Amino acid sequence: MLKVIKFSGEWCGPCKLLAPIFDQVKSEVSGVSFQDVDVDADSSLAIKYNVRGVPTIVIEKDGQEVKRLVGMQQKPLLTSTINSFK
């Protein structure tokens, strides 16, 4: 099972730019579990994943982290990166 977790904050400018891109990818990529995490609302999860900055996208395959993307991501790169682990 592939899981994609996006860590962001309400106050984060790049996070606001990434949000609609992430939503588009969620609607276009099937067979993947997507999760949005607000680092302020769920700081324990951010600590568990050792998130140092936002936005951060963590990709897990079978419960193990296989890729981490930090900062603003463009849709083609995000989509191809996720699909490469399917």
Tell me the catalytic residues: 12, 15
Residue entry with tokens 């939503």: 23
Tell whether the torsion through CA atoms of 24, 60, 72 and 55 is positive or negative: positive
DSSP string, 27-38: HH--SEEEEEEE
